[in-house]
Chains A and B, each alone.
Chain A
């Protein structure tokens, strides 16, 4: 609330988000706010000019009665200072002119409030107060009923113009913060990609070089230790790659188009089928379609079918199914296997990063497959969940946009 304490530092933001003259003009035209409104507000201003201070006094008694809002003030001096600023703010609402400099002032105050962390509901609450305080004198003003109604309209228009600007200050600021967070993430990924791999290359490389060049001079225990170092490095490298994949999935550009889930699943399963020397029966319901990003849908099915093959790998025979069913009136795709399954008590851990429900010695992997699958589904606005039982297989369900069976 304190413009003295925190009024600085918002100027670059205000400058950036301030509407252009054309944008402000458009907003006014949309609200049907014109020169007549300016004139009527000015007239109202002259009527109520003297009452600004008591209005703000009353408003501050209200505001200070809430611990949530009174917490923003460090003491009585600050309250006095902010009150004076608010008197000017209140008076300018009706005095106008409602030009670019006015819009900038509204954005500036909005940005300051956003910056100190005052929630938008409190900010907007003050407009409700202004409106009530202005409607009361308007009701008894010496105006004919047409004029009174028109001034009432003008007041609504200007308050909505202000609220639009206030919300912009909040929303745009958050957008900037989000953008900054995303670009920080990009920098992080970029750095991982460049910097984390080189030391791993040294760890793996020199332990293996040592084994190759001088392995014979070492005893078996020492050679085993070198192999452990290399294995650890390779494991770390897998984890780094998995994290990079995960983050690339999150920021990949998406192009929505019709994608055949059935055909994609068949294409993804083919190398998995030939790599398996077991008897795996694969049943894919034909003609399942969605509208989504073809590459991401393929990565999704790779992860789900990859899991299905992996977690049935300890069985001599396996049945893996992909199909579409209606669940509570909603089309849902399922990928079902009859493999190792999982305990439903752990279902919420399945989709976490680096979460594994089986020991590495039984089923290899980085524990990012379902986290990746979940990001892909969520980026499409869908849901994914799992059902299963230990040793009785797992079924992964997901929704995607526009799921349908179209032979």
Chain B
């Protein structure tokens, strides 16, 4: 018998309100109805996953992170480094979703252990298609290890 994976929350770490609106619209249009949490900068992202307030993520909650690289306060690389450096978030699926396709960004992101690197297309139709593909692959198809204590 296969257990259905619980519905993962999509965490969009994105400082641009217009990119956020475009992404949310694309989720909605493509029937991706998962809960979405939007975080505006790197500190918020680290707080959400590793903070002590208990308000954010708890180990074991299924999440997929869409991480921009150019963010205020802590940038995407710094966030990634913190997440990969902590036992609790070491295996959390993190996808970089950014405007840049500079080689040095790709190299650095993979070096820091990102699961996937996707360039945000400038074109509207391509952007919608990209978000749809991310949703289907990472949110619906992809399996992640369940925490051992469940």
Contact = CB atoms under 8 A, between A and B. Distances in A.
Contacts of B104: 190
A230 B127 CA distance: 14
Given A197-B120, A198-B16, A209 B22 contact: yes
Contacts of B121: 201
Contacts of A230: 124
B143 interface: no
A205 B99 contact: no
B107 interface: no
Contacts of A198: 16, 18-19, 99, 120
Contacts of A204: 122-124
A193 B22 contact: no
Interface centre among B16, B18, B19, B125 (most CB of A within 10 A): B18
Contacts of A234: 122-123
Interface string B58-92: 00000000000110000000000000000000000
A365 to B, nearest CB: 18
B100 interface: yes
A200 B127 CA distance: 12
B96 to A, nearest CB: 12
Interface in B12-41: 16, 18-19, 21-22, 25
Interface string A179-196: 000000000011001110
A208 B99 contact: no
B19 A193 contact: no
B100 A194 contact: yes
Nearest to B103: A248
B30 to A, nearest CB: 13
Interface in B93-145: 98-102, 104, 120-125, 127
A201 B100 contact: no
A237 interface: yes
Interface residues of B, number: 21
A201 B125 contact: no
A164 to B, nearest CB: 37
A363 interface: no
Contact of B100 (A190, A202, A205, A206): A190
A193 B99 contact: yes
Contacts of A195: 70, 99
Contacts of B98: 194
Contact of B19 (A194, A202, A208): A202
Nearest to A240: B122
A205 B19 CA distance: 9
Given A193-B99, A194-B99, A197-B99, A205 B124 contact: yes
Nearest to A190: B102
Contacts of B101: 193
Nearest to B15: A198
B18 A200 contact: no
Interface string A145-158: 00000000000000
A231 to B, nearest CB: 12
B98 to A, nearest CB: 7
Contacts of B22: 201-202, 205-206, 209
Contacts of B19: 198, 201-202
A335 B68 CA distance: 44
A198 to B, nearest CB: 5
A227 to B, nearest CB: 12
B28 to A, nearest CB: 11
A237 to B, nearest CB: 5
10 interchain residue pairs of minimum CB distance: A202-B18, A197-B99, A208-B124, A237-B122, A205-B124, A193-B100, A205-B22, A194-B100, A201-B122, A200-B122
23 contacts: A190-B102, A190-B104, A193-B100, A193-B101, A194-B69, A197-B120, A198-B16, A198-B19, A198-B99, A199-B18, A200-B122, A201-B124, A201-B127, A202-B19, A202-B22, A204-B123, A205-B18, A205-B124, A208-B125, A209-B22, A209-B124, A233-B122, A234-B122
Given A234-B123, A237-B122, 19 more contacts: A193-B99, A194-B69, A194-B98, A194-B99, A195-B99, A197-B99, A198-B99, A201-B19, A201-B99, A201-B121, A201-B124, A201-B127, A202-B19, A204-B124, A206-B21, A208-B124, A208-B125, A209-B25, A209-B124
